[in-house]
Structures are given as structure tokens and as C-alpha cells.
Chain A
Amino acid sequence: MSELPGDLKYTKEHEWLRQEEDGTVTIGITDHAQSALGDLVYVELPEVGQEVESGGEMAVVESVKAASDVYAPIAGEVVAVNEELADDPEKINADAYGEGWIVRMQPTGEDEETMNPDEYQEFLDALDE
């Protein structure tokens, strides 16, 4: 398993969040999540401008194994979505923390509980026993 980027926060639902300088937050799924899902074949993205509740469905990722909801780790308004995923969902498999980002949101409320890289690594190790 690859090294976890140090500048990100992580959730128990295997999403990552990056605080951008302009106050928005970029969100994607972790390398662990893409690896568990397997090769992605389809990503359903929200509309720009959509308001999302914390813990609400934000996107759907579908792989050869399964379709999974991606839950919003924060409440906010969607300000950008990664349009390239529509044609190229494998970007998430290839580069989960970079070109595989899913949405960018303008937060409107409190964060759900997140983990730092060390805590997320511990969480993953515990899943693995």
C-alpha cells in the first residue's frame, strides 16, 4: 500500500479531504478504497451548485465488483466536479490523491470527524487485523 499523503485528512468511509488556499475543500476516495473497489467503470458526479449534507450521498463510484456511494464528509456547496472522470474513471485507480479527485466543495458547516494520516493508517491496519 502506498504512503498516505501527509497534507490530507481522512474519514472512516475512506475519503480524503484537502483544504485549499481559497477556503474550498477537495474530496476524493483513498488509495485503499480504489484498491478494494477494483477497476472503476463509471463515476456519477453531483451537479455544481448542489448543496450536500454532511453524511449525505455525494457521488457514486461503480467498479467491476460493485457500485458504492461516496458520502460527503462535510456539509457544503459543490463548486467543482472532476468532469474528466466521466470519460476516464480509471484516473481514480491510477492516481487517487491527484488526478482522481472527485469534487470540490465550499464548506457551510462543521466537519465530520476526520483523521490525520497516522490515525487513518492505524484505522487501516486495524481493518487488516
Chain B
Amino acid sequence: MSEQLIFERSRPGRRAFAQAPLTDSNGSVPENLQRHDRPTLPEVSELQVVRHFTRLSQRNFSIDTHFYPLGSCTMKYNPRACNSLALLPGFASRHPLGPVSHGQGFLSCMYELQDMLKSVTGMQEVSLTPMAGAQGELAGVAMIRAYHLANGAAERDEIIVPDAAHGTNPATATMCGCTVREIPTDAEGDVDLEALRSVVGPKTAGIMLTNPSTLGVFERHITEIADIVHDAGGLLYYDGANLNAILGKVRPGDMGFDVIHLNLHKTFSTPHGGGGPGSGAVGVGERLKPFLPIPVVGKKDIDGQPVYSWLDEEDLPQSIGRLSGFMGNAGVLLRAYVYMRMVGKDGMKRISEFATLNANYLEARMQKAGFELAFPSRRASHEFIVTLKHEAKTLGVTAMDFAKALLDKGFHAPTTYFPLLVPECLLIEPTESETKESVDRFVEAMIEIKDEAMTDADKVKGAPYTLPVRRLDDVKAARHLNLAWKADRD
């Protein structure tokens, strides 16, 4: 049953008092800046507003309501305390242009967050400025580029990207003016070292790697890769997308990475998947310190008291610059701070241990139930890949059909058709938050769908049946965008 737009419910003259506009009673807005035409807003009653948005919220397929094993996305529980503490008035009412002396509490939290991130990643310095994962990537590669330019090596403009990489990696390299050299992955999911050796050289700027990779396995040759790239004069960039798998266990800095971005919203407790706001904090090793995006939070001791301040162009003259008006998304950074303080050092280990335990348990059960694993010889990291190519070939039921049928059974679908290397794949990430019971129920649902596919393939191909909308026309959606309601103005 589709929900009418709230604009479609509008009837002239209806009013909702709770949503009445504020009037400028004290005359603080100058006459020439006041609007005189009415905004185009729906005219509805208060109860209509309440019902409309309550119904929409009930249709939200979210981590708060359902198991959400969306591979590569780490859809884990975000503790409520992280949000409520980030909303304390001292944080939420702080104006970013207010004097630094009025924001010492906030700045001290940010300074400690930088420190905690250094410690968990093994990097030397951290900047919290990037506002999202993609911006963190951009900052990371821009720093690599700035490093080579500062060393008079402008010709180093090639970024090596394994074919298993996230699509954002080659996009980032291109945005930074670099050329992408793609290298293949071997049959066991590791980077092909021979191919790597054959592409590194005097033009190499660096390599972008995710470890564990998007194939759900740990890159076993990482120190060898680091040596090959460093010996060729290049730097190593770590995509922090899969950090949840190794938290507290292995550190990218120890693996030899020179720069790393972290999706704080993902690994450290901000609800995500809705398009932001996010945080793509970056960490760097010794070589890239001068190039960090500003501002960074600094600390001085004055008369035995810690005093926090912004480090800007004066302190970091070689910085790649500013990425946002202030310093990232304060709310996301505060949630990450609270989360890290709550779980502590030992908690970090438990996160990765349970994330990998859940993934390996689920993987083993799926294999036992007759599903084919993409990398059966490898232990899963925090996620793993099932390929449904035999089901697609013999039953005509594709990974997408399984994904849709799972929705009817009360599960968010795993990631479909990514990574691109594996045909008809589902990338499944249960996270540390799920109980054994919910993981078991997921396996049972997959078995039920497979049984249905063998007896009545068309039924599975018609799924979903129980959601507000049935199978969507992806092609039409991509080619004929219809994103915004437009008013019929006079």
C-alpha cells in the first residue's frame, strides 16, 4: 500500500499548530531580508502530520527493527548513549565560531578522539576534518599527491588499485588527478603480487588497499605488498571500510600503511546508510604529517593546565587545506568519542572477535546448508561471499531474487552483485551485534527460499510480496529520475 505524499493530502486552509512558523516578534530580521511570499508547504492537520510520519517510520527497514547483514556496510547497533551524550547542551549549543576558550570541553574530547584513533590504527597523527568516507579518501590521496609534489616527483601520478576495491577508490584517484592502474586478485582472494611488481615503477604514487578486502578475506601478503610499493617509491593508502574486522587486533600502521581513512559513522556508532552526515577521519604516518587537512586539534600546557586550540595554516603550512567550513560533523565525532570511551581498549577486541565469529559461524552454516562459498579455503573476516551462480543457472533464480525474497522473511538483503569479481554473489556481514538465534534464523530463511526456488521458481522471482511496494523497475529508476515533488504554482 503506497503512502500518499504529504503534499497530496494538502487542503487549503488546514493548519497544524505544532508546525506553525515562528514570527519575527522582536524585529531581529531586517525588513529587506524577510520573505513576503508564502512558502510552499502542505496544508494539513496536526494529526495528519503525525500519522504520515509515524507510518513512514514504521516502514523503515532498519537496524532497529531487522537483522541487516548488508556486506561492506557494518550495520551494527548504535548505542543510544552515544547519541544522547552527543546531544548534551554544552555540545549541541556550542557555536563553531564561538571563542576557543568557550569550547575547551568539546575540544578536549576531539583531542582525545584523535589520540584514541592514533592508538587503534597505529598512525602518528589524525585529522578529524573530512565529512564522509569519500572525502577521507580524497584527503588521503591528495596527501600522497602533495607528498610527491613536495619531493619534486610530479611524475608520480599512478595509483594502483586491486580489482576487488571499492568503486570509490578509482574515483578518488581520478579526482586527485592521478591515473588508475588496476591489478588482479588471485584465486584465493589475495592481491596478485606478480602483477603488482609489474606495474610499480618511477610513476607510482601509491596503492589503495582495503584489508580485509571486499572479498571478506585478510590480505596475507600485506607486508610484502608494503615493501614492494615502498621500494618503488610509492605510499600505501588504507581504506578503513572494513576496520571493524581487525579493531584492537591488528593496526594498519603496523602493516606499513602511510595513510588511512576511517568511516567513524560506520565503525564507531552513528546510524548510517541514509546519506549522512558522516565522518571520514584520516590518520597518517611520519611522512604525511605535514600535509594533514586542517584544522587539527592541538594541546598545550599553560601553567600546568591543558589548553586546546585549532591548528591551522600557520601550524601546518603544507596542509592540503580545508575540506569543510569548520571541522567535520561534530555530532558524528562526538558519538565516536563516546562509543570508544564506552567500549574501551578491551572492548575494541571484543568487537572484532565477535564480528568475525558471527561471520565465520554464519559462513559455516551456509556451506553446510549447501550454498557455495566464493572462497571456501579461506577463513572469513567480518563478512563473506556466497555465490548463487548454480542456483541462477539451474533454477533461473538469481542473487537478486534471493535478496528480494529475504525481505518478505523479515531480513534486510545482503549486498548483491558486489564485489564485481564474483558472479551472482551475496556479500554477508552479520556484525558483532547479532545473537546466534538471529543468525540461525537467517540461514533457515535462505534454506526456505532455496526450497521454494526448486519447487516454484516463479514465486521467488516475484518477491517481495509483503512490502509496501513490489519489485522495483531499476532501469526506469536509473534512467527516468523522479526525485522531487514540484508545486503547481500560479
Q: Which of A39, A64, A66 is the most central at the interface, judged by chain B CB atoms within 10 Å of its CB?
A: A64
Chain B residue nearest to A66 (CB atoms) is B420
CB-based contact A66/B478 at 8 Å: no
Q: Does A41 make an interface contact (CB < 8 A)?
A: yes
Q: Does B237 contact A (CB under 8 A)?
A: no
* CA gap between A67 and B423 in the complex, in Å: 15
Please determine whether A41 and B420 come into contact, CB atoms closer than 8 angstroms: no
User: Does the CB pair B474–A66 fall under 8 Å?
Assistant: no
- A66 and B214 CA atoms in complex are apart in Å by 15
Contact B417 A65 (CB under 8 A): yes
Task: Report the minimum CB–CB distance from B189 to chain A (whole Å).
Answer: 17
A64–B475 CB distance below 8 A: yes
Partner of A41 from the list B167, B423, B479 (CB cut-off 8 Å) is B479
B418 to A66, Cβ gap below 8 A? yes
Interface size class of B (residues with CB under 8 A): 10 to 19
Q: Say whether B475 contacts A66, CB under 8 Å.
A: no
Within 8 Å by CB of B478, from A36, A64, A68, A128, lies: A64
Q: Are B420 and A68 in contact (CB under 8 A)?
A: yes
The interface residues of chain A lying within 8 Å CB-to-CB of B393 are 128
Q: Are A64 and B167 in contact (CB under 8 A)?
A: no
Q: Specify which chain B residues have a CB less than 8 angstroms from the CB of A66 in the assembled complex.
A: 167, 417-418, 420
- A-side binding surface: helix, strand, loop or mixed? mixed
Q: What distance in Å separates the Cβ of A37 from its nearest Cβ neighbour in chain B?
A: 9
A64 near B423 (CB under 8 angstroms)? no
Q: Does A120 contact B (CB under 8 A)?
A: no
A30 and B479 alpha carbons, distance in the complex (Å): 23
Interface residues in B398-442 by Cβ distance below 8 A to A read 416-418, 420, 423
A123 within 8 Å of B by Cβ?
Answer: no
Residues of A within 8 A of B417 (CB): 38, 65-66
Q: How far is the CA of A25 from the CA of B356 in the complex (A)?
A: 50
The B-contacting residues of A in range 37-88, CB under 8 angstroms, are 38-39, 41-42, 62, 64-68
Nearest chain-A residue to B472 (Cβ)?
A64
Report chain B residues within 8 Å CB of A65: 416-417, 420
- Segment 93-111 of A: residues with Cβ below 8 Å from B: none
Nearest-CB distance from B139 to chain A (Å)? Answer: 23
Expressed in whole angstroms, the Cα–Cα distance for A66 and B416 within the complex equals: 10
Contacts of A36 in B (CB 8 A): 423
Q: With A36-B423, A67-B167 as given contacts, are A42 and B478 in contact (CB-CB < 8 Å)?
A: yes
B474 and A64 within 8 A (CB): yes
Chain B residues with CB under 8 A of A67: 167
A41 touches B475 (CB 8 A): yes
**A66 vs B393: C-alpha distance in the bound complex, in angstroms?**
20
For the complex, give the distance between the alpha carbons of A86 and B410 in Å. Answer: 39
Which chain B residues border A128 with CB–CB below 8 Å?
A: 389, 393
Chain B residue numbers with a CB within 8 Å of A64 are: 474-475, 478
Residues of A within 8 A of B474 (CB): 39, 41, 64
In angstroms, how far is the closest chain A Cβ from the Cβ of B214? 13
0/1 interface trace, chain B 317-355, chain A, CB 8 Å (1 if under):
000000000000000000000000000000000000000
- List B contacts of A68 (CB < 8 A): 420
What CA separation (Å) do A42 and B479 show in the bound complex?
8
CB <8 Å contact, A39 and B420: no
Contacts of B355-383 to chain A: CB distance below 8 A: none
The complex places the Cα of A60 from the Cα of B418 at a distance, in Å, of 18
**Chain A neighbourhood of B420, CB < 8 A:** 65-66, 68
**Could you tell me the distance between the alpha carbons of A30 and B474 in the complex, rounded to whole angstroms?**
22
In whole Å, how far is A42's beta carbon from the nearest beta carbon of chain B? 7
Q: Which residue of B lies closest to A40 (CB)?
A: B475
Note all chain A residues with C-beta closer than 8 A to B475.
39, 41, 64, 90
Contact with A along B387-399 (1 / 0, CB 8 A): 0010001000000
Q: Smallest CB-CB separation from A41: which chain B residue?
A: B478
Neighbouring B residues of A42 by C-beta, 8 Å = 478-479
CB distance from A74 to the nearest CB of B (A): 19
User: Contact residues of A with B, CB < 8 Å?
Assistant: 36, 38-39, 41-42, 62, 64-68, 90, 128
Q: List 22 A-B contacts (CB under 8 A).
A: A36-B423, A38-B417, A39-B474, A39-B475, A41-B474, A41-B475, A41-B478, A41-B479, A42-B478, A42-B479, A62-B478, A64-B474, A64-B475, A65-B416, A65-B417, A65-B420, A66-B417, A66-B418, A66-B420, A68-B420, A90-B475, A128-B393
Given contacts A41-B478, A41-B479, A67-B167, 19 further A-B contacts (CB under 8 A): A36-B423, A38-B417, A39-B474, A39-B475, A41-B474, A42-B478, A42-B479, A62-B478, A64-B475, A64-B478, A65-B416, A65-B417, A65-B420, A66-B167, A66-B417, A66-B418, A66-B420, A90-B475, A128-B389
